[in-house]
Amino acid sequence: MATASLPAHQQDHASSTNYLNCSRGFLSWACTLDHKRIGVMYLIGTMTAMFAGGALALILRAEHLTPQATLPGITHDLYNQLFTLHGAIMVFLFIIPSIPGALGNFILPIMLGAKDVAFPRMNLCSFYLWVGGLIFFLTALLTTGLDTGWTFYTPYSTNTSSTSVVTATLGAFILGFSSIFTGLNFIVTVHTMRPPGMTWFRMPLFLWALYSTAIIQVLATPVLGITLLLLAVERSFGLGIFDPKLGGDPVLYQHFFWFYSHPAVYIMILPAMGIISELISTFSRKPIFGYRFIAFSSMAIALLGFLVWGHHMFTSGQSEMVTVVFSVLTFSVSIPSAIKVFNWVATMYKGSILLATPMCYALSFIFLFTIGGLTGLFLGALATDIHLHDTYFVVAHFHYVMMGGTLVAFIGGVFYWWPKITGRMYNEFWGQVSSLIVFLSFNLTFFPQFILGSRGMPRRYFNYVPEYQTLHILSTIGSFLLGFGLALAAGVLIASLFSGRRAPANPWGSATLEWQCSSPPPLSNFEHTPSVGDPYDMNSVVWDAETESYVKQQSSGGHSHVASAH
């Protein structure tokens, strides 16, 4: 039914034209309404932000080689600005927009069997808002910097800090709207754009994850918007709501901030979990174990994520009763997370596992996310949190979840969908090597930080006592290896653009819809109406030696028709 309305020229040249070469020139990208091109622009943008944030992280780690000042020119104040910008760039410019903005935009409509997201203009607007936020952050960086930490806690941010708080705040405000637009688009697309046959429980789990994420984006991000607006006005005019000097309440600011920013943690991790569900099933060549449990656990995480924000404020002067309630609720989030991990492992059981690069990253994810999740329980427990709060233990914990979880899954997802996005296969061997380096060096970087934290090394400190030096050096060495591993992964991908062989439509044997269209996909995604079936029925695709691709098997059993073939 989709084909009936296509312009004739697209059908004529369907075999050769795709979304990459259908039009040329800067404006054809800058003004595009195609979700695939917007996704690619997001991919480039967020990856750049990631390497920028990573470079800042390496400076921070290098600084910690010795207990005192190590690098010339890095002063205490500059150190504060560097970790603030590292955090703010990674959170607002990379982790939150990366998977929904880049992979989600590219994959969601194709996976769903739709021609585009519901509001393509809003989608483009979302990308430009991201660019706008980036410009504000760069302005803050290049003027007086920012040293409040990415959390902008009052009253330091309103009364004391002499850096560009308002500029950075407005940047984050704009990025919030970018995130809202993406989420809003995804919810509407999933609700109204599903083709006939695509029922809710035939949706791949990545879509469930993106849908759950979008709910959080729509419900939580506006609160960040108003919080940052209040903060900017507070700082500029002295509104007084968060300023104790004027009768305001700084703890209230933390309620406002974490009402968004804790659910935002699930904006970061949920899409990553969705990617892992796809990868584990595809590369185990087995249907996902407990499909509905994973789908509902995504929704459960999205909703439970709203009930636990107070666990960031255990030591902030929050009242005892509320603290206890938030601590109890915090443990409830571990249940749906554990369900997911259990189901991924159960999916692999007795599967025929192929250790391709995406699968290597997926296995790293399961290991690292489990450590990150379990250490979160220590922090959710009131007594231990008093000891561990604001130490390197917290730093290690959220890096295991955010980096070992989200970033590793993002890279795995990029490797997985790279043939679809670019139409090129990358070098499998070096891809696997990169995943091994990332996995080992990640642990070398952050495991020592658990020990440092439990021994009392506070986070965000410029200097430290000499007895911590050995662990700090280990961590720093790990971080540089990690940087190398990620650069290698990027190199493998970029090299494939020049020398990679052409990707077949379905190199991995996945049964989800995006592998039924050619690689790269045509402008309107499907030349022929995709047949919607069970997304995890691995027996429905078989290897075809002639095209070096997996092909859809007709229910009769023959290779008669290939939906993706021309």
Partner 1 sequence: MSDSHDHHGFAHVMSPAVLLAVFAALIVFTVITVLIAGSSLIPPGFDIYVALTIATIKAALVVLFFMHMIHDKGLNAIMFVFSLVFVALFLGAAISDTEQYQHLIKDFGQANPDSMAK
Partner 2 sequence: MATAVETHETDGHGDHDDWHHKPFSAHHFENAEQQFDSGKLGMWLFLVTEVLFFSGLFVAYAVYRANHPEVFIYASQYLDKYLGGMNTVVLIFSSLTMAWGVRCAQLGQRSGLILMLSLTLACAALFLGVKTFEYTEKAHKRLLWAGAFVNATDINKSLGTTKRPGNHVFVVEKIPKPPETFEERMMVSLRAIQRFWGVSMLIPVLLVGLGYRFNSRPTRTIGYAVLLSIGAILVGMEASIQIHEFQHGGAHAATGGHDADHHEADHQEAGHNGEAGLPGAHPEHSVVAGDIVDPMLSELTSDAEPKDLKSLSDRPRNANIFFSIYYFMTGLHAFHIICGMIAITWLLVRSVEGHFRPDYFGPVDFVGLYWHIVDLIWIYLFPLLYLIGN
Residues at the contact surface with partner 2, assessed by CB under 8 A: 1, 4-5, 114-116, 118-120, 122, 144, 158-160, 162-163, 166, 180, 184-185, 187-189, 191-193, 196, 218-223, 225-227, 229-230, 233-241, 243, 245-249, 252, 255-256, 524
What is the chain's percent helix, strand, coil content, to nearest 5? 70, 0, 30
The interface with partner 1 within residues 310-329 (CB under 8 A) comprises: 310, 317-322
38, 141, 205, 219: which one binds partner 1 (CB under 8 A): 219
Residue window 275-314: x/- pattern of binding to partner 1, with contact defined by CB under 8 A: -------------------------------xx-xx----
Q: Determine the Cα–Cα distance for residues 180 and 473; give it in Å rounded to an integer.
A: 41
Choose from partner 1, partner 2, none: what does 320 bind? Cβ within 5-8 Å by kind: partner 1
Question: Judged by CB under 8 A, does residue 193 bind partner 1?
Answer: no
CB closer to partner 1 out of 113 and 310: 310
CB closer to partner 1 out of 152 and 416: 152
The CB-of-194 to partner 1 minimum distance in angstroms stands at: 13
DSSP codes of every residue in 208-277: HHHHHHHHHHHHHHHHHHHHHHHHHHHHHH---SS-GGGT--HHHHHHHHHHHHHHHHHHHHHHHHHHHH
CB closer to partner 1 out of 321 and 545: 321
191, 501, 561, 566: which one binds partner 1 (CB under 8 A): 191
Question: Which of 35, 116, 110 is CA-nearest to residue 535?
Answer: 110
Is residue 144 packed enough to be buried (19+ CB in 10 Å), middle (13-18) or exposed (0-12)? middle
DSSP codes of every residue in 344-363: HHHHHTT------HHHHHHH
Choose from partner 2, partner 1, none: what does 454 bind? Cβ within 5-8 Å by kind: none
The CB-of-320 to partner 1 minimum distance in angstroms stands at: 8
First and final C-alpha spacing in the chain: 17
Question: Judged by CB under 8 A, does residue 259 bind partner 1?
Answer: yes
Which amino acid appears at position 556 of this protein? S
8 A C-beta contact, residue 378 and residue 400:
no
Joined tokens for residue 512: 């989800």
CB closer to partner 2 out of 35 and 61: 35
For residue 302, give the H/E element and its range: helix 291-304
DSSP codes of every residue in 313-332: -TTTT--HHHHHHHHHHHHH
Choose from partner 1, partner 2, none: what does 310 bind? Cβ within 5-8 Å by kind: partner 1
Choose from partner 2, partner 1, none: what does 41 bind? Cβ within 5-8 Å by kind: none
Q: Determine the Cα–Cα distance for residues 493 and 417; give it in Å rounded to an integer.
A: 11
Number of residues that bind partner 1 (CB under 8 A): 22
Binding site for partner 1 (CB under 8 A): 191, 219, 223, 245-247, 249, 251-252, 255-256, 259, 306-307, 309-310, 317-322
